[in-house]
């Protein structure tokens, strides 16, 4: 039979172990996430895949939104599921951009390669049908931007629902970063390695009524250089100018303050036009001076 002292010691150890376990659980709960980024991305990707398979689009959008906010390079399938979600929400141009990003990253051996090509064709047909639907009795078509522009005024509520955003400003910021992620500039335009981010990419945030733009440049030795610029929006043209130069394989969006180059992007006129439109809407939102709702 154990003595009362030994029992007391054993009970004390049990109590200490129990308290340590509670403290450990509390620490994990307080941080909200204990997985390393690469494992968290895999977890969210699995959850996204299951949600899309079950057509739980709101749930899928939540996971995609959380993936979007992570700075770690995403797998190719992320763009496929993003394209599916955007298509479901009726954002045809952005859906096509995401699916094209998947095709370029995954290649012909990608699990969703054939389906992505089919969806891109379906989007193209739907865009053409939308244009035909606008033809009036004189055979003249109105400007189709209102139909195919995901960041259009009539689409802001849909963007807020898609990104689970609390305001138009937050939805536009997330949307802009999503577009920028698919349009990063690369030196080698023939082969896109899945494990390597673009050579020049951007992240945009809002602080104190200004746009903060971070440029992340990957050098040939795999080192990275980050540069940030603050863009005050008051008094500037809310529709930035852009163009593409096929000879150098790049497109640029110009600073509305002085016309200098602000974004260097991959050569894709549709994507760059959409980025410029979304950037312009975000600038106008900030110029209103409200909370962004």
Could you report the per-residue pLDDT of 172-213, keeping only the tens digit for each?
999 899 889 888 998 886 655 545 788 999 999 999 889 999
DSSP 8-state secondary structure symbol assigned to residue 152: S
CA distances in angstroms from 230 to 21, 227, 252, 257, 275, listed in the order given: 46, 10, 18, 12, 18
Q: Which two tokens stand for residue 173?
A: 């910021």
Provide, for the chain, the percentages of residues in helix, strand and coil under a 3-state DSSP scheme, each rounded to the nearest 5: 55, 15, 35
DSSP 8-state secondary structure symbol assigned to residue 16: H
Is it the case that residue 282 has pLDDT exceeding 80? yes
Whether residue 118 is found in the same domain as residue 201:
no
98, 127, 156 - which closes a domain: 127
Query: In whole angstroms, what is the distance from residue 232 CA to residue 211 CA?
Result: 6
pLDDT of residue 291: 59
pLDDT of residue 241: 93
Residue 95 lies in a domain: yes
DSSP 8-state secondary structure symbol assigned to residue 245: E
Query: In whole angstroms, what is the distance from residue 277 CA to residue 251 CA?
Result: 15
Query: Which residues partner with 226 through β-bridges?
Result: 216
Q: What is the pLDDT of residues 104-138, one digit of tens each?
A: 889 999 999 999 999 999 988 886 776 555 443 33
Q: Could you tell me the pTM of the whole model?
A: 0.60
Residue 219 lies in a domain: yes
Residue 137 lies in a domain: no
73, 98, 127 - which closes a domain: 127
Average of per-residue pLDDT values in the chain: 79
Structurally, how many domains does the chain consist of? 2
Residue 21 lies in a domain: no
Domain span including residue 249 = 165-288
- Helix crossing, 92-106 with 269-287: angle to 10°? 130
Is it the case that residue 75 has pLDDT exceeding 80? yes
Query: Which residues partner with 257 through β-bridges?
Result: none
Q: What is the CATH number of the domain that holds 175?
A: 2.30.29
């Amino acid at each position: 039979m154990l003595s009362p002292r030994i029992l007391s010691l054993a009970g004390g150890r049990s109590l200490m172990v129990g308290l340590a376990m509670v403290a450990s659980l509390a620490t994990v709960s307080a941080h909200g996430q204990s997985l390393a980024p690469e494992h968290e991305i895999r977890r969210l990707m699995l959850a996204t895949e299951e949600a899309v398979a079950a057509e739980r689009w709101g749930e899928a959008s939540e996971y995609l939104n959380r993936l979007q906010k992570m700075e770690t390079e995403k797998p190719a399938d992320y763009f496929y599921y993003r394209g599916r979600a955007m298509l479901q929400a009726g954002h045809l141009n952005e859906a096509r951009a995401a699916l094209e990003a998947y095709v370029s990253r995954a290649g012909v051996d990608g699990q969703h390669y054939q389906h992505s090509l089919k969806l891109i064709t379906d989007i193209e047909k739907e865009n053409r049908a939308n244009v035909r639907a606008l033809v009036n009795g004189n055979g003249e078509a109105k400007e189709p931007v209102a139909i195919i522009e995901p960041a259009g005024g009539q689409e802001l509520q849909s963007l807020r629902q898609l990104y689970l955003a609390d305001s138009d400003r937050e939805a536009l910021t997330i949307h802009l970063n999503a577009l920028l992620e698919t349009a990063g500039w690369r030196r080698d335009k023939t082969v896109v390695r899945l494990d390597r981010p673009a050579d020049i990419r951007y992240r945009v945030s809002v602080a104190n009524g200004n746009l903060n733009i971070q440029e992340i440049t990957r050098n040939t030795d795999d080192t990275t250089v980050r540069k940030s610029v603050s863009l005050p929006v008051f008094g500037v043209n809310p529709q930035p100018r852009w163009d593409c130069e096929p000879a150098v394989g790049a497109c640029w969006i110009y600073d509305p303050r002085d016309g200098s180059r602000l974004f260097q992007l991959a050569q894709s006129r549709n994507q760059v036009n959409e980025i410029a439109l979304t950037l312009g809407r975000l600038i106008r939102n900030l110029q209103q001076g409200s909370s962004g709702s």
